[in-house]
Chain A
Amino acid sequence: MSPTEATPVDMLMMCSFRAGPGLFGIDTTQIREVLGAITPQPVPLAPEYIEGVVPYRGNVLTTLSFRFLLGLEKRARASCVLVLDDEENEERFGLVVDEVQGVASVGRDSLEPNPATLDARSVALFDGTCRTPSGLMVRLDPQRLRPSRLAESGLFGSAQRGGKGEVR
């Protein structure tokens, strides 16, 4: 499976998934669980990058719409949810993607930083790229995707004020 001849120490196991046309990967050690086809319950007035909430192990998990973050149309059907843990900040959240492809091992030496010409939104999300047999994969870092961090960055909009009850 590995295109390079590096030793396993130099290899990263990446969970690869698709959102729109792009191929993305997250280090498997940072993924807690992958939930199959599931439709999050939408939350009215939430920031648009929030897909909704799903029940997860007795708790309520907030999920992000990765498609929205990439500037793609949201899909109205069941998708895969990656459960991500940010241990440092004790924040657990889900990432809604189109489909999870599998696990790819990637050589550390094939990692490259973000291109200098990348736009601000993408810089806030991406953590460099790497080559895989199925094409260029964008690496993601759960740290950067934390909902609270996205809210602080203000790049992706904030909670909506909603209509007043009587306005029609």
Chain B
Amino acid sequence: MEEKIFSDIEYNEYLNEEKLMGSKCKKCNALYTPPRPICIDCYGTDMEWVEMKGTGKLAAFTCISIGPPFMIEEGFDRKHPYCVGVVELDEGTRIDARIEGIDPSKPETIKVGMPLVVKYLHREKKGEKLTYLAFETS
């Protein structure tokens, strides 16, 4: 079997399989989510895939009222905002994700530091399977 390169395409394929994957430098152990093909700490190029536990906490967030067309298609608008944020994983790296299990119309109730667990939002676009990374309150 051909080895999976450390690309966004492979990362997204893993999301379709409900796996949150990062890459780790075999030389200096630096960890990256999403995966990087080249270690930017030691410039090593020998990387390996690592599966994340999928738990973490909310590092920062925003509740968006005016979104791009693909979010409007999902039913979000000025009256129905959605929440996106940056999640700090237990492994120490951060990742961008949609945030669920909270009320985006009451942003003052959403707190930085909230514990979160991964959730995969499966969608179809032009017959292609795609998965949005999300986290919800645990």
Q: Determine if chain A interacts with chain B.
A: no
